[in-house]
Each structure stands twice: as structure tokens, then as C-alpha cells.
Amino acid sequence: MRIIKQHKTTTVFICFVIIAGICNLLIKTTNALFNTVMFCANFMIYIGLILFWAQTVRDRILPNRTRSYMIASSVFMIIYMLQRVFRYRAVIDSLFVYRSMAYIYYIPLVMIPSLLFAVAVSLRAGNTRSGRIVEKVIIIISATVSVIALTNDLHHLVYIPTVELSVFDMGNNTYSWGIGFYFIYAWMIIALAGGAFILLRIVGKKGKKAIITLAFAIVIWIVLAMIHALIFERFSIPRPFFKPEIDCFCMIMIFECCIRSRLIPYNENYQDLLEKMKLPILITDRDLHTVYRSDESMNIPQDILKKAAKEPCYLNKDIKLCSMKIRAGYVFWTENEHELHEQRKRLNEANELLSEENDLIAVENKLREQKAHLNAQNQVYERITEAIYPKQKKIEDILKSADPESGDFAERLGKVCVYNAYSKRKTNLLLLSEETLPKNNRELYLALAESCRFLKCYGIEAAAVGEEYSGLPLNVINDLYDTFEAVIETYLDSVSRMTVSVLPDGVRIAMEAKTGADLPETLLPIKRQESDGLLYFTILNDKEESKV
């Protein structure tokens, strides 16, 4: 009795199934009116039970693909029942409609196992992309198989008539099985076996009781189907249930096993669920009257419940009262946020400490950046000092020994101007960097032109001619200018006029000199040629090439 009280809805459902079976047995009487009443009662009970179960699924399970598959299976169960009524009770004269009902028979026969397979895949894979793809494949194959059966008159792949189609009444010895028939049953077996295998694997995680219940439901289905085929149909014994009823209600039993083992979550039996959760929870009706209270601490005034029903509120500094609307009212529960507040307090303290440390790190980084900037400047200044010191030393020596009253004073000042021109342009080049130097630039040309302009102070007719822009890198420009300066210093006292031009890979110098001189070691190789009393120097951007 205790079990019946706990599962009274299930008990009533089973009782109605038994009553429908009894009505089916009473159809075979000699009274036509009584037979009709029993048949209608049988049919209405079955349809009512399937619709009732579909409604409970809709109410109990949250909207998802699994619920959609189960509701769709209930629709095909009704079609399964209806086709038998139309075929054997409503259709008498039309052979086409009679055959069509036989073809429609295969639609629920295929779709119900396929939807079981889809439910199993949905439960196994969840809301993953691969799971959704497999489910779509199952539905597409099932629909294709159903269409093959439904359109048999066009292709004869399921039933191959041995008589004219106009007189084909699906009777014995009027057809043979086609390849489509075997394909349909093969897919049904695959769908049933695959769905059962996946469900048994998943439900195994819920414990032995759940897996035994599901396995028992599957075995019941197989046993009843075999008894119906091997005993009742073979010996034409009056039966309480036909195959459609066995298939439909055994499928419902399998689905219920999945739901009640919470393999498919559902929103019933709150009290048992909440007792297992061991949380302070309060359930009320829609008027906020208490229906269930798991803890005496949940004795909360209605004004606070009204406020919490709209948004969470705090009973004290640490206890938060939350709510959720359910089918028959509201469920309230409390959350102790003491530890959260403590953690938040410690986090704020840590954030303050980190903020102070971040400020110190920012100041330290700024100082490091300034120091790095100064170091970089000092390195540049050291390079400039190292590069122009020899020239500045020569300028100092010349000025120390120069006498304004002497005749060579102007010549000495001209030489100082030449050295100063180099010092200035060399400083400018060393202040540049590869990042600030444009790809095509005039730096080398400007340095050569300024040196030529100050050579005129020394009495030398000099000019920079030709292309001004070049794509040479900065280090090559420095080497070319240093090598050019070495050539000028060597021939400074003997040259009377000269021109210099920038080449794609170096510098070209043409000069008229009174005497020849030996060039010192230079950074870049120099090619020297003499023609018609002129000297030609080609400074090449190639340190491997030997000097001529």
C-alpha cells in the first residue's frame, strides 16, 4: 500500500492499461453494439493515456531537445493507434486507402525506435555540436526510411506485388518482400540496439538500482513482443494487447525509467530532492503560504518573502534569501555568504597592498626608463666624442701654433674649417638611428656637400654633384664619409679642385692634385685610377674587396 500511495499516478495509469486490455478481450462477443462500445473504450483509453503522458512530459521536463523527441514519439504512438483503427474499422471498399494505412504503419514503427535512439544520443552527448549532428543524421535516415515505405506503390521496394496493383489488397500470396523491407527492419534493430546500449551505459552511473530497472523494462518489451508473435499471432489466441499497444507503452515505460532515475532531469518530487540536498529551503504556494520547510530557520515573515520573490534580499549581514518561481508557487533558500564576505575583505586588503606595490613598481620602471634613456644618450655622446676627438685635437694644435700676423694664418683657418665641417656632419650622423633614418635619404650627400663647401675656405674648388638620394644604411653612410674624409686629408695640401658624387654602392671622387700620395688604411676599400692628369677614387661598400 505504501508503494501505491507513493506512486499513485503510475498505479492509476497501469490500471487503465489493464482495463483497456480487458475491453479488447470483450470485443469478440456476438453483440455488435457491445463490441463497438468496447472497441471505442479501448481506443479512447489508449489515446487518453498517451496524451496524458505527453502532457506530464511537457510539464515535468524543461524545454530541450530530449523533451521534443519524447513528445514527438507520443505523436507517432497516436498515429500507430490510429492507422490500425482506419485500416481494420473505417476502410472497407478502397484498396488504395487500405494499402496506404499499411504503408503508414511503418512510419511510427520506424520513428519511435529512432526517437529513442535520438534521446539516448542527446543524453550522452549533451549540447555538443557532434551530438546535434548525430541526432540530425538519425532523424534524416528515419524520415528517408519512412518515405520509402510510404511510396511503395511507386517503386515496390518494400512490398513487391505478384498481382496487378489495382487488385493488390496486401493478402497472403499476393506479394513478396523487397530490399526496402529488410532495410527498414535493419534500421529499426540498429536504432533499438543503439538506443538501449547508450541508455544502459549512461544510467549505469546512477547506480545498480537504476540500471536494473531500465534493463527490466527493455526485457519486458522483448518478452511481450516475442509472446505476441510466437503465441498469440501464431495460434490466433484472443489477446488483451496488440503489437502497437505493446510497443507504445513499453516505450513509455523505458522513457519513464530514464526520467525517474533522473537521467532526464525533471521538476517533480521537490521534497525528496530537497531533503537529499540538506539545505535550508522553503516551498510556498502562489500566495506565499508555506507548503514545505526543511529547517526551522526558514520561518520567515510574508513581507520578506514578497520582497525576496522579486529579487534576492539579506536577512542579516551574511545570510541572503533567494527565490525561484516553480509550477505551483515559489521555492526559497538561503545562502550563507560569510566566507564570501571574508574572502572579499581579504581580497580588498590584498588589492590595496598590490596597488601600493604597483605604484612603487611604476615609479621604479619610470626611473629605469629614464636611466636607460640617459645611458643611451651617454653612449651616443661617447661615440661622438671618440669619433671627432682626433679632429678636435688637430684643430686645437693648429690654433695654438697659429699667429694672426703670419702669412699662413688664413690657410690654417681654412684647414680648421674643413675639420670643423667633418666634426659637425659626423656628429649629425651619429645622432641618427636606423629607426629615424628614411629608406631613401640625403644624409651622405649633405655631409659630402658641406665638406666641399668648407674646402673652398681652404682654397679648393670642390662640389658635390649628381644624385642626392641613396638607400644606404646608416653604418655604411658613416664608413663612406670616414673613408672620404681620409682621402681628403691625405690630398688636402696638393688638390686644387675636385668633385664628389654618390653612387648606388659608394662614393666617386674626381680631383686634380699636384702630387700623388699614399693612402692610409681605411674602413672601406678604395679603387684609384689616373687619367689625363686627374685622379679618380671610388670608395666601395665592400670591406672584402682589396684596395688598389
Which of 215, 212, 221 lies closest to 245 in space, CA to CA?
Answer: 221
Q: How far apart are CA 279 and CA 515, in angstroms?
A: 109
The predicted structure's pLDDT at residue 4: 44
Q: What is the H or E stretch that residue 14 is in?
A: helix 8-25
Banded model confidence at residue 92, pLDDT cuts 50, 70, 90: low
Q: How far apart are CA 548 and CA 543, in angstroms?
A: 13
Q: How far apart are CA 93 and CA 86, in angstroms?
A: 12
Q: How far apart are CA 49 and CA 102, in angstroms?
A: 24
Between 325 and 374, residue with greater pLDDT: 325
The predicted structure's pLDDT at residue 16: 92
Contact between 198 and 121 under an 8 Å Cβ cutoff? The reply is yes
Contact between 384 and 376 under an 8 Å Cβ cutoff? The reply is no
Report the b/e string of 407-445 with b at 16+ CB within 10 A.
Answer: eeeebbebbbbbbbbbbebbbebbeeeeeeeeeebebbb
Amino acid 249 reads: F
Residue 3 has pLDDT above 50, yes or no: no
Residue 256, beta-bridge partner list? none
Q: How far apart are CA 414 and CA 459, in angstroms?
A: 8
The predicted structure's pLDDT at residue 399: 75
Between 397 and 66, residue with greater pLDDT: 66
Report pLDDT digits (tens) over 194-242: 998 998 888 877 778 888 888 898 899 888 888 888 888 777 788 888 8
What mean pLDDT, rounded, does the chain reach? 84
Report pLDDT digits (tens) over 487-527: 888 888 888 899 999 998 899 999 998 777 788 888 889 89
Count Cβ atoms below 10 Å from residue 146 Cβ, excluding itself. 22
